[in-house]
């Protein structure tokens, strides 16, 4: 048995490097990320093409209601599902495969694993989301430019904020989903909970008296998150900064619960 | 050295490990033996800090596992079932674990060769046979060149050549002064590999002794005698400490006397013997005797 250079300890940076390798070394992860990018880019291009083709037949009021930024960011509504599902899976696949036993016996303090997973996935999501949103923005603008309609630039008011906000939204969605996965530890339950909170509960609230609905809805992850990159903010909606604060706080709470459970529970 | 003191683990209403105390010494291969469901894997999980004990404690080299700043360099573990993502290649699996400790790629390469996975290192681990999976698990355990090895059922699924390989490897590691603790439910395997035995049944400690001592107990003092004048001999042997049974007119089974003693008595009384054979209970029989009371799922026998 040859001797090994004995480094002193497990560090947060080393765990992050390991988590980076984990993320990159799975085919399913690479495909999910590619799918998220394609959805973010593809839908705006399709929508822009449709608007461009039908422009002549639209009434002036209909034309006035078209928002170029909304078209550019339309894909985020769909790719959030891919980012969320992958976020859940990154955690729950460790439990379903048994990998978690190797992971936690290698890093017995446990918390560095959670921080590293979140940091690596957040960085990857942010980079990928920003890149694909920018491609979607310029791509949809180029399509619309052929009729010289709905032209905006990155320097126009709120454009940079919305583009960065969309990337931040996807990062928070991914982190939120990871925390859910770490709490429930099962893929099926994790994805179901994620879909319930993001897609099922919001429309259900419309059944409530509207005063209640107005008091609750804006603070839910979905609407708070959407406020970060939405162009127009209604009276019952949070401001971009408010939305960011609320969604980030909700996510932080969930991550806190996940961290506590990770340390307390048997693996 | 591994030291368990009053180790207890309760899962709901089930007590998987009950007040278990033992010490695993360095320089020896210690077998951890017990029927399925007796608490071996739970004990392994407790040692590795994967589960927290309900009561008592267990330490490796005097420290709780969770307190090791670089656990791979202290304890190498092969866990029951596979602890890996089937979609990752064997090489990447090792690399992922090595990176948490800053262990270089060269060490990963070295281990891939050592366990004989060179040709399949870039295949996804999910496609591995049981034996290849075990080899990968052993590579994980050796990654940090640890002083203590903890292997849950290491020979499971290995072919005879693989079993020989791991036996030699483990003996070599122990000879270097390392602590080697391996679990098994097969006594015969342990008799060949281990120096010392810790036997548990239903979470309790049943025996803690050297393999030599265990074999001595197991061999018992049962002697088969065949003699034309068997009844006469049986009368001569009779003594409160001696038990004689007969399964035929000329055949006796005697316990409590050695074959030498029986031979002398027969000669002194002029009784001709046709057979005088010390019987050795098989290891599995001795093991089953030891744990009979503690087998969790007894087959229901209807007479």
Express each pLDDT in B259-286 by its tens digit.
Answer: 888 999 999 999 999 999 877 666 667 7
Mean pLDDT of A192-218: 91
B150 and B227 co-located in one domain: no
Domain assignment present for residue B289? The answer is no
Give the nearest chain A residue to B101 (CA atoms). A10
Comparing A234-243, B210-219, B252-261, which segment has the lowest mean pLDDT? Answer: B210-219
Of the candidates B89, B142, B97, B145, the residue with the CA atom closest to the CA atom of residue B118: B89
Chain A interface test: which of B48, B93, B99 (most A C-beta within 10 Å): B99
Of B197, B217, B237, the last residue of a domain is: B217
CB contact under 8 A, A108 and B81: no
A34 CB near a chain B CB, below 8 Å? no
Give the nearest chain A residue to B73 (CA atoms). A6
B113 CB near a chain A CB, below 8 Å? no
Of B170, B192, B217, the last residue of a domain is: B217
B110 and B188 co-located in one domain: yes
The alpha-carbon gap from A195 to the nearest alpha carbon of chain B, in Å, equals 25
B157 and B254 co-located in one domain: no
Residue with tokens 């506590």, as numbered in its chain: A260
Per-residue confidence band for A86, with pLDDT thresholds at 50, 70 and 90: very high
Q: Is pLDDT at B299 greater than 60 in this prediction?
A: no
Of the candidates A101, A130, A110, the residue with the CA atom closest to the CA atom of residue A36: A130
Mean pLDDT of A253-264: 98
pLDDT: which is higher, B102 or A234? B102
Domain interval for residue B235: 221-279
Res B301: pLDDT: 52
Res A3: pLDDT: 47
CB contact under 8 A, B96 and A21: yes
B82 CB near a chain A CB, below 8 Å? yes
pLDDT in tens, B203-231: 999 889 998 887 766 655 678 899 999 88
B6 and B91 co-located in one domain: yes
Q: What span, in angstroms and rounded, lies between the C-alpha atoms of B191 and B31?
A: 9
Average pLDDT for chain A = 93
8 A C-beta contact, residue A182 and residue A91? yes
CB contact under 8 A, B51 and A266: yes
C-alpha distances (whole Å) from A13 to each of A23, B10, B40 are 15, 36, 35
A97 CB near a chain B CB, below 8 Å? yes
B118 and B228 co-located in one domain: no
Chain A hits for B49, CB-CB cut-off 8 Å, are 104-105, 108
Q: Is pLDDT at A2 greater than 50 in this prediction?
A: no
Res A174: pLDDT: 97
Res B257: pLDDT: 82
Q: Is pLDDT at B36 greater than 90 in this prediction?
A: no
User: Residue-wise over B70-87: b if at least 16 C-beta within 10 A, else e?
Assistant: bbbbbbbbbbbebbbbbb
CB contact under 8 A, B100 and A18: yes
pLDDT in tens, B66-122: 999 999 999 999 987 688 999 999 999 999 999 999 999 999 999 999 999 999 999
Q: Do the bridges between strand B14-24 and strand B148-152 make them parallel or antiparallel, or are there none, so unpaired?
A: unpaired
Chain A hits for B110, CB-CB cut-off 8 Å, are 2
Res B279: pLDDT: 75
Helix, strand, or coil here: A65? Answer: helix
pLDDT in tens, B113-138: 999 999 999 999 999 998 899 999 99
B110 by Cβ neighbours in 10 Å (0-12 / 13-18 / 19+) ranks as middle
Comparing A48-57, B54-63, B163-172, B241-250, which segment has the lowest mean pLDDT? Answer: B241-250
Q: What span, in angstroms and rounded, lies between the C-alpha atoms of B86 and B92?
A: 11
Q: Where are the domains of chain A?
A: 12-42+70-139+151-264
Res A93: pLDDT: 96
Q: Is pLDDT at A211 greater than 60 in this prediction?
A: yes
C-alpha distances (whole Å) from A89 to each of A56, A76, A253 are 46, 20, 20
CB contact under 8 A, A1 and B173: yes
Chain A hits for B72, CB-CB cut-off 8 Å, are 106
Mean pLDDT of A98-126: 97
How many domains is chain B built from? 2
Domain assignment present for residue B298? The answer is no
B208 and B240 co-located in one domain: no
And the tokens for B58?
């267990």
Give the nearest chain A residue to B99 (CA atoms). A18
Res B294: pLDDT: 60
Res B296: pLDDT: 52
Q: Do the bridges between strand B148-152 and strand B179-184 make them parallel or antiparallel, or are there none, so unpaired?
A: parallel
Per-residue confidence band for A5, with pLDDT thresholds at 50, 70 and 90: low
Q: What span, in angstroms and rounded, lies between the C-alpha atoms of B79 and A104?
A: 12
The DSSP output letter for B124 is: B
Per-residue confidence band for B237, with pLDDT thresholds at 50, 70 and 90: confident
Q: Is pLDDT at B303 greater than 50 in this prediction?
A: no
B210 and B238 co-located in one domain: no
Question: CATH number for the domain including B259?
Answer: 3.30.70
Q: At what angle do helices A159-184 and A76-97 cross, to 10 degrees?
A: 20
Domain assignment present for residue B291? The answer is no
Chain A hits for B107, CB-CB cut-off 8 Å, are 4
Q: How many CB pairs under 8 A join A and B?
A: 112
B88 and B213 co-located in one domain: yes
Say how many residues make up chain B. Answer: 303
CB contact under 8 A, B87 and A107: no
A192 by Cβ neighbours in 10 Å (0-12 / 13-18 / 19+) ranks as middle
Question: Of A14, A101, A108, which has the smallest distance from its Cβ to B71's Cβ?
Answer: A108
Comparing A72-76, A253-257, B184-188, B293-297, which segment has the lowest mean pLDDT? Answer: B293-297
B235 and B202 co-located in one domain: no
B15 and B67 co-located in one domain: yes
Domain assignment present for residue B288? The answer is no
Q: Do the bridges between strand B179-184 and strand B251-255 make them parallel or antiparallel, or are there none, so unpaired?
A: unpaired
Chain B hits for A98, CB-CB cut-off 8 Å, are 79, 81-84
And the tokens for B136?
């990968």
Per-residue confidence band for A7, with pLDDT thresholds at 50, 70 and 90: low
Chain B interface test: which of A14, A105, A185 (most B C-beta within 10 Å): A105
Question: CATH number for the domain including B81?
Answer: 3.40.50.300
Domain assignment present for residue B266? The answer is yes
Give the nearest chain B residue to A100 (CA atoms). B83
pLDDT in tens, A135-183: 999 999 999 999 999 999 998 988 999 999 999 999 999 999 999 999 9
CB contact under 8 A, B84 and A106: no
B101 and B237 co-located in one domain: no
User: Residue-wise over A86-123: b if at least 16 C-beta within 10 A, else e?
Assistant: bbbbbbbbbbebbbbbbbbbbbbbbebbbebbbbbbbe
Res B116: pLDDT: 93
Mean pLDDT of A59-65: 91
Give the nearest chain B residue to A108 (CA atoms). B66
Residue with tokens 């050695």, as numbered in its chain: B258
Q: Give the strands of the sheet with B204-210, arranged side by side.
A: B75-78, B148-152, B179-184, B29-33, B196-201, B204-210
B227 and B203 co-located in one domain: no
pLDDT: which is higher, B238 or B19? B19
pLDDT: which is higher, B237 or A248? A248
């Amino acid at each position: 048995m040859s001797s090994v250079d004995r480094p002193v300890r497990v560090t947060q940076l080393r765990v992050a490097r390991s988590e980076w390798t984990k993320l990159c070394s799975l085919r399913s992860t690479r495909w999910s990320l590619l799918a998220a990018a394609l959805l973010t880019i593809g839908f705006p291009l399709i929508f822009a093409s449709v608007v461009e083709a039908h422009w002549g037949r639209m009434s002036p009021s209909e034309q006035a209601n078209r928002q170029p930024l909304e078209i550019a960011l339309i894909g985020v509504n769909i790719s959030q599902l891919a980012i969320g599902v992958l976020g859940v899976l990154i955690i729950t696949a460790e439990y379903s495969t048994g990998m978690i036993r190797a992971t936690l016996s290698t890093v017995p303090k446990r918390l560095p694993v959670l921080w590293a997973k979140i940091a690596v996935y957040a960085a990857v999501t942010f980079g990928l989301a920003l890149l694909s949103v920018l491609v979607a923005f310029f791509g949809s603008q180029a399509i619309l430019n052929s009729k010289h309609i709905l032209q905006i630039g990155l320097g126009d008011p709120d454009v940079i904020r919305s583009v960065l906000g969309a990337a931040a939204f996807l990062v928070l969605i991914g982190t939120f989903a990871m925390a859910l996965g770490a709490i429930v530890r099962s893929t099926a339950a994790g994805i179901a909970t994620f879909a319930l909170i993001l897609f099922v509960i919001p429309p259900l609230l419309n059944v409530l008296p509207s005063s209640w609905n107005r008091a609750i809805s804006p603070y839910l992850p979905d609407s708070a998150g959407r406020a970060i990159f939405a162009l127009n903010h209604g009276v019952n909606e949070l401001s971009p900064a408010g939305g960011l604060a609320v969604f980030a706080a909700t996510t932080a709470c969930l991550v806190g619960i996940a961290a506590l459970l990770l340390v307390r529970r048997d693996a | 050295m591994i030291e368990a003191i009053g180790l207890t683990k309760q899962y709901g209403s089930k007590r998987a490990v009950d007040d278990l105390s033992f010490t695993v010494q360095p320089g020896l291969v210690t077998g951890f033996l017990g029927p399925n469901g007796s608490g071996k894997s739970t004990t392994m999980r407790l040692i590795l800090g994967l589960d927290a004990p309900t009561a008592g404690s267990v330490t490796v080299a005097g420290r709780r596992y969770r307190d090791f700043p670089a656990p791979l360099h202290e304890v190498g573990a092969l866990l029951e079932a596979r602890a890996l993502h089937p979609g990752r290649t064997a090489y990447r699996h090792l690399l992922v674990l090595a990176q948490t400790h800053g262990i270089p790629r060269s060490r990963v390469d070295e281990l891939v060769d050592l366990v004989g996975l060179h040709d399949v290192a870039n295949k996804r681990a999910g496609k591995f046979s049981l034996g290849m999976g075990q080899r990968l698990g052993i590579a994980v355990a050796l990654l940090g060149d640890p002083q203590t090895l903890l292997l849950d059922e290491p020979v499971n699924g290995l072919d005879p050549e693989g079993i020989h390989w791991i036996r030699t490897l483990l003996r070599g590691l122990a000879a270097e002064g390392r602590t080697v603790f391996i679990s098994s439910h097969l006594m015969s395997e342990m008799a060949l590999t281990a120096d010392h035995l810790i036997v548990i049944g239903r979470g309790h400690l049943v025996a803690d002794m050297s393999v030599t001592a265990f074999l001595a107990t197991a061999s018992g003092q049962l002697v088969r005698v065949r003699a034309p004048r068997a009844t006469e001999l049986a009368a001569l042997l009779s003594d409160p400490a001696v038990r004689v049974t007969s399964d035929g007119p000329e055949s006796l089974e005697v316990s409590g006397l050695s074959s030498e003693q029986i031979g002398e008595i027969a000669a002194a009384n002029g009784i001709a013997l046709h057979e005088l054979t010390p019987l050795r209970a098989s290891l599995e029989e001795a093991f089953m005797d030891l744990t009979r009371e503690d087998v969790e799922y007894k087959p229901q026998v209807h007479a």
